Structure 1
Amino acid sequence: MSQKPSIASAGTRTDGAREFTVWAPAATTSVDLDLDGTRHPMEPLTGGWWTLRVPAEEGARYGYSLDGGPVLPDPAARRLPDGPHGRAQVVDLDTFPWTDAGWTGVDLQGATIYELHIGTFTDEGTLDAAIGRLDHLVDLGVDIVELMPVASFPGAHGWGYDGVAPFSVHEPYGGPTALQRFVDAAHGRGLAVALDVVHNHLGPDGNYLLSYGPYFTDRHHTPWGAAVNLDGPSSDEVRAYLVENVVSWLRDYHLDALRLDAVHELHDDSAVHVLESFSVAVDDLAEEIGRRMYLIAESDRNDPRTVTSRDLGGLGIDAQWADDVHHGLHVALTGESQGYYSDFAAPHALETVLASPFFHAGTYSTFRGRTHGRAVDPTRVDGSAFVASLQTHDQVGNRRSGDRLSATVPFRRLAVGAALLLTSPYTPMLFMGEEWAASTPWQYFTDHTDVDLAQAVRDGRRREFATHGWTEEDVPDPQDAATVRVSTLHWSEVDEGEHERMLGWYRALLALRRSRPDLGAGNLADVRVESSPVPGAFVVARGAHRVAVNLSDQDVDLGLGLPDGGTGSVVLLTLDATTTVEEDTLHLTPDSVVVVGPASE
Structure 2
Amino acid sequence: MRIGSHYLGNDRCEFSLWAPTLQEVAVQILSSERRLIPMQQDEEGYWKVTVEGVAPGTLYNYELEGNIERADPASHFQPQGVHGPSEVVEHSTFAWTDKSWSGVPLEEMIIYELHVGTFTDAGTFESMIPRLKDLRELGINAIEIMPVAQFPGERNWGYDGVFPFAVQNSYGGPEAFKKSIDACHQHGISVILDVVFNHIGPEGNYFADFGPYFTKKYSGDWGDAMNFDGQYSDGVRNYFIENALYWFENYHIDGLRLDAIQAILEFGARPFLRELSDAVAEISQKIGRKLYLIAESDLNDVRTIRSREIGGYGIDAQWNDDFHHSLHTLLTGENDRYYQDFGKLAHIEKSYREGFVYSGQYAPHRKRRHGSSSVEEPGYKFVVFSQTHDQIGNRVLAERLSQLVAFEGLKLAAGAVFLSAFVPFLFMGEEYGESAPFFYFISHSDEPLIEIIRKSKAEEFKAFTGRGEMQDPQSPDTFNKCKLNWELRTEGKHQALWELHRQLIQMRQTIPALKKLDKKCLEVSGIEDDKILFLRRWNDDSQIFAILNFNLEDVTFTAAPPVGNWQKILDSSERKWMGSGTSLPDNLEAGKQVTMKPQSFVVYEVK
- Aligned mate of 1:396, from 387, 392, 399: 392
- Aligned mate of 2:457, from 446, 457, 461: 461
- Aligned mate of 1:591, from 581, 591, 599: 599
What is the CA–CA distance in structure 1 between the aligned matches of 2:357 and 2:462, rounded to whole Å?
Answer: 30
Distance 1:427 1:467, change over 3 A: closer
After TM superposition, the score normalised by the length of structure 1 is 0.95
Deviations 1:353-401 (A, max 9, x none): 22222111001011111000001132xx211101111000000011101
CA contact (8 A) 1:110 1:427 kept: yes
Q: Per-residue deviation at 1:456?
A: 1.4
Partner SS state of residue 499, structure 2: helix
- Aligned mate of 1:322, from 314, 320, 325: 320
Mean Cα deviation higher: 455-464 or 131-140: 455-464
Correspondence for 1:551: 550
Mean Cα deviation higher: 442-451 or 222-231: 222-231
1:487 matched to 2:482? The reply is: yes
What is the CA–CA distance in structure 1 between the aligned matches of 2:604 and 2:559, rounded to whole Å?
Answer: 9
Correspondence for 1:531: 526
Distance 1:568 1:200, change over 3 A: closer
Paired residues for 1:249-268 under 5 Å: 249-268=247-266
Correspondence for 2:409: 413
Mean Cα deviation higher: 222-231 or 441-450: 222-231
Amino acid at match of 2:14: E
Amino acid at match of 2:42: L
Amino acid at match of 1:88: S
Partner SS state of residue 290, structure 2: coil
1:497 matched to 2:511? The reply is: no
Correspondence for 1:3: none
Mean Cα deviation higher: 475-484 or 213-222: 213-222
Distance 1:281 1:560, change over 3 A: farther
What is the CA–CA distance in structure 2 between the aligned matches of 1:360 and 1:33, rounded to whole Å?
Answer: 54
Amino acid at match of 2:388: T
Mean Cα deviation higher: 554-563 or 143-152: 554-563
CA contact (8 A) 1:260 1:296 kept: yes
- Aligned mate of 2:93, from 95, 113, 125: 95
Mean Cα deviation higher: 495-504 or 556-565: 556-565
What 5-or-longer segments of structure 2 have no aligned partner?
576-581
What is the CA–CA distance in structure 1 between the aligned matches of 2:528 and 2:351, rounded to whole Å?
Answer: 19
CA contact (8 A) 2:7 2:56 kept: no
Partner SS state of residue 348, structure 1: helix
CA contact (8 A) 1:424 1:520 kept: no
- Aligned mate of 2:269, from 235, 257, 271: 271
Partner SS state of residue 403, structure 1: coil
Distance 1:583 1:30, change over 3 A: closer
Mean Cα deviation higher: 523-532 or 128-137: 523-532
After TM superposition, the score normalised by the length of structure 2 is 0.94
What is the CA–CA distance in structure 2 between the aligned matches of 1:290 and 1:562, rounded to whole Å?
Answer: 45
Amino acid at match of 1:432: M
1:370 matched to 2:372? The reply is: no
What is the CA–CA distance in structure 2 between the aligned matches of 1:547 and 1:572, rounded to whole Å?
Answer: 9
Q: Per-residue deviation at 1:534?
A: 4.0
Q: Per-residue deviation at 1:527?
A: 2.1
CA contact (8 A) 1:34 1:65 kept: no
1:439 matched to 2:435? The reply is: yes
What 5-or-longer segments of structure 1 have no aligned partner?
1-5
Q: Per-residue deviation at 1:275?
A: 0.6
Paired residues for 1:236-251 under 5 Å: 236-251=234-249
CA contact (8 A) 1:539 1:560 kept: no
Deviations 1:101-126 (A, max 9, x none): 00011111132110000000000000
Q: Per-residue deviation at 1:53?
A: 1.3
What is the CA–CA distance in structure 2 between the aligned matches of 1:554 and 1:9, rounded to whole Å?
Answer: 61
What is the CA–CA distance in structure 2 between the aligned matches of 1:427 and 1:181, rounded to whole Å?
Answer: 27
Paired residues for 1:126-205 under 5 Å: 126-205=124-203
What is the CA–CA distance in structure 2 between the aligned matches of 1:377 and 1:539, rounded to whole Å?
Answer: 19
Mean Cα deviation higher: 424-433 or 353-362: 353-362
1:43 matched to 2:40? The reply is: yes
The number of residue pairs the alignment matches comes to: 590
Q: Per-residue deviation at 1:43?
A: 2.2
Correspondence for 2:447: 451
CA contact (8 A) 2:383 2:423 kept: yes
Mean Cα deviation higher: 412-421 or 14-23: 14-23
Amino acid at match of 2:35: T
Amino acid at match of 1:525: K
Q: Per-residue deviation at 1:268?
A: 2.0
What is the CA–CA distance in structure 2 between the aligned matches of 1:554 and 1:31, rounded to whole Å?
Answer: 72
What is the CA–CA distance in structure 2 between the aligned matches of 1:363 and 1:118, rounded to whole Å?
Answer: 39
What is the CA–CA distance in structure 2 between the aligned matches of 1:275 and 1:500, rounded to whole Å?
Answer: 42
Q: Per-residue deviation at 1:78?
A: 0.5
What is the CA–CA distance in structure 1 between the aligned matches of 2:464 and 2:505, rounded to whole Å?
Answer: 38
What is the CA–CA distance in structure 1 between the aligned matches of 2:23 and 2:337, rounded to whole Å?
Answer: 50
CA contact (8 A) 2:5 2:75 kept: yes
- Aligned mate of 1:27, from 22, 29, 37: 22
Partner SS state of residue 355, structure 1: helix
CA contact (8 A) 2:330 2:344 kept: no
Partner SS state of residue 99, structure 1: coil
What is the CA–CA distance in structure 2 between the aligned matches of 1:582 and 1:156, rounded to whole Å?
Answer: 55
Partner SS state of residue 219, structure 2: strand
CA contact (8 A) 1:363 1:372 kept: yes
Deviations 1:490-509 (A, max 9, x none): 11111111111111111111
CA contact (8 A) 1:7 1:237 kept: no
Mean Cα deviation higher: 314-323 or 350-359: 350-359
Q: Per-residue deviation at 1:558?
A: 4.6
Amino acid at match of 1:595: V
Q: Per-residue deviation at 1:470?
A: 4.3
CA contact (8 A) 2:389 2:427 kept: yes
1:71 matched to 2:77? The reply is: no
Q: Per-residue deviation at 1:523?
A: 1.6
CA contact (8 A) 2:103 2:289 kept: yes
Q: Per-residue deviation at 1:92?
A: 0.5
CA contact (8 A) 2:118 2:483 kept: yes
Q: Per-residue deviation at 1:277?
A: 1.0
Partner SS state of residue 109, structure 1: helix
Correspondence for 2:221: 223
CA contact (8 A) 1:115 1:145 kept: yes
Amino acid at match of 2:47: W
Correspondence for 1:506: 501
CA contact (8 A) 2:573 2:597 kept: no
Distance 1:94 1:470, change over 3 A: farther
Mean Cα deviation higher: 548-557 or 132-141: 548-557
Q: Per-residue deviation at 1:458?
A: 1.4
Distance 1:12 1:560, change over 3 A: farther
What is the CA–CA distance in structure 2 between the aligned matches of 1:559 and 1:69, rounded to whole Å?
Answer: 80
Deviations 1:80-136 (A, max 9, x none): 100111100111112110000000111111321100000000000000001111111
Q: Per-residue deviation at 1:15?
A: 6.6
Deviations 1:222-245 (A, max 9, x none): 111221111111111111111110
Amino acid at match of 1:418: A
Mean Cα deviation higher: 97-106 or 456-465: 456-465
